[in-house]
Amino acid sequence: MPGALSRRLCRRLPVRQVLCLVPPLLVAVVAVRHRSVLAQGFGHLAEARWPWLLAAAGVTCLTWVAAACTRQGAVVERLPRRRLLAAQFAAGAANHLLPTGLGASAVNLRFMTVCGVPLARSSAALALYLLAGSVGRVALLGALLLAFPGALRLGALLPEGFLGPLLLAGAAAPAVAAGVLAPAPRVRAAVASFLRTALGEARSVHARPARALALWGGALAFPALQAAGLALVGRALELPVPAAHLAVAYLAATVAVAPVPAPGGIGSVEAALVVALVAAGGPVALSTAVVLAYRIITVWLPLPPGALTLAALVRLKVI
């Protein structure tokens, strides 16, 4: 009897309807687990100057536009603009519910395949997007460090003697990966096939100036807008650190914690940002307040509507 009852329930509840309930439920679970952080963040928001906070919220909204531009620039086919923008908003919520960007990648991969892009080319476009995003963030950080060399005291960010082994480990990573793949012919063949597809997609995209501009312009605009949001929140709470130094601190912190497999960087990003702001010259207590308020605006406030948008897109079969 129990087995027959469960089968009847499964027939009455289609899988797509069940999936629509998953994002809001996950948001509720994450919010309950981090309720103390949320309470502190909202407390700091109440003490801040609202015009600057509204400006930070507006800049946060522009990050989804930048992400949509980059996604469009990574694929030759023209994607529907409104659905693409809605998918980026939903992907932001999914990104904070699954580790290491898996949520956003899954949403966008599904979106492109529904739009008619073959799976192999959708995967190649996704890889191109991730590469452009990483290059854009690191390039922007390098440019700001050259322009403002005293923005960060690296000695305050890294223990003494730690930078050398860190660079050595980064340089050795490709060799280790090659050593792991060498004994696996099937894996090598699959990787070679994917690389051929990805290189072909990259050539096709860069053969169109509009696509290349959207790809690299969005890849630079996205981290710049995120850094600007942090600078505006710092201004709202009167953090005594120049805006350019806040931008350097933000980019350095996010680059440093990028490999950490935490959903949306929750926990790791906050810790790295506090350390970076202190290294930029901010007081510890006020830097913590700025980080909590910034994460409330950029993560927690968009999370419930983003989850509802994700559920709606699943229900409408957009993804």
Task: Identify whether the C-beta of residue 30 lies closer than 8 Å to the C-beta of residue 178.
Answer: no
Rounded to the nearest 5°, which phi and psi values hold at 95? Answer: -65, -25
CA 215 – CA 238 distance, rounded (Å) = 35
Largest CA distance in the chain: 72
CA 254 – CA 111 distance, rounded (Å) = 26
Burial class (CB in 10 A: 0-12, 13-18, 19+), 145: middle
Task: Identify whether the C-beta of residue 63 lies closer than 8 Å to the C-beta of residue 224.
Answer: no
Task: Identify whether the C-beta of residue 28 lies closer than 8 Å to the C-beta of residue 38.
Answer: no
pLDDT tens digit at each of 319 positions of the chain = 445 544 554 455 455 555 555 556 665 665 666 566 666 667 777 778 889 999 999 999 999 999 999 999 999 999 999 999 999 999 988 887 776 678 888 899 999 999 999 998 999 999 999 999 999 999 999 999 999 888 877 554 444 444 445 445 545 555 555 555 556 667 667 777 777 888 888 899 999 999 999 999 999 999 999 999 999 999 999 999 999 999 999 999 898 887 766 666 667 788 888 888 888 888 888 888 898 889 889 988 898 899 899 989 988 888 8
3-class state of residue 75 by DSSP: coil
Strand partners, 290: none
Closest by alpha carbon to 127, among 76, 203, 74? 74
